[in-house]
Amino acid sequence: MIPFTKMQGNGNDFIVLDNMSGQYPAEFLSRAAVSYCRRRQSLGADGVLVAETSPDADFTMRLFNADGSEGEMCGNGARCIARYAFEKNIAGRIQRFSTLAGIMEAEVDSPFVDLRMGTVSLEGGWFNRPLSVAGETFQASFLRVGVPHAVLFCETEPSRERMVQVGRTVRHDRNLFPDGANVNFVFGDGEAAIRSVTYERGVEDLTDSCGTGSTASAICRLLRNGRPYRPVAVVDVINPGGVNTVTLSFGQDGMTVEASLKGRTVIVAEGFLTEESE
């Protein structure tokens, strides 16, 4: 019997586990993610979030995707585990926690969490290139926001089937993306508000929301016509599951961006996972 909390941030849902005592080894957590994230057969989720001790911060966040792989970072997941850590007295309202992508800072004002994602480097990324996929050419960009993100701009919203087809193809293009990539479809002409749908690596499907994807989409949209004309920008990124508010502060060097992500978190349920649901 494993105690769990089910949470979601803008429809990006997670099973959250307390591993502060270290009772669950990584191999178990990877298997548990595959078993318990199955929809309709088990509890179902996009991934498993795990709170562990950290020598450098209030706690460590680990993320196991639905396919069992361990992810570096997830924006909506980070907001959820920050709220979880606050509610469970693991950390205070203002907190720092470790991830494979570095230290994150968060401020909890339940149910909202403002996640400071630190500095996003534009070096190593590329922007506004034509990318031909499955008989269609997109204007595309690529950068890392904790994890790799390809951003494809669309004139109109593609069908779900088309986004899955293109997302799966791009995600597995090892020539362009040796580590794979999340694929974000962005549509809408505005800069203050855009729409974005993400095909997530590790989930291997479209998700209702992606925090790092929202951040990548906002950055690439503002860079679509060159360097942003204002140093600080606030962009509402509308995902199928809700709105992520992204605040971006562009460095004077033009190669760095300070990013924060604010949105609502929801504690859906608490209970126990049983062996039967594996």
* Catalytic positions: 74, 210
Decide: residue 8, CB within 10 A, 0-12 exposed, 13-18 middle, 19+ buried: buried
For residue 152, the 8-state DSSP code is E
Distance between CA atoms of 150 and 171, rounded to whole angstroms?
8
H/E stretch holding 159 reads none
Q: Is the dihedral angle over the CA atoms 89, 90, 96, 97 positive or is it negative?
A: negative
Vertex 256 angle, CA 240 and 107, to 5°: 55
φ/ψ of residue 6, rounded to 5: -100, 125
Amino acid at 21: S
Q: Which residue has the tokens 């498993």?
A: 48
Three-state DSSP class for residue 161: helix
Instruction: Please report, for residues 19, 101, 171, 232, 249, the alpha-carbon distance to residue 61 in angstroms, rounded to integers and kept in the order given.
Output: 10, 10, 24, 28, 25
The CA distances from residue 6 to 77, 81, 88, 136, in Å, are 11, 11, 14, 39
DSSP 168-186: HHHHT-TTT-TT--EEEEE
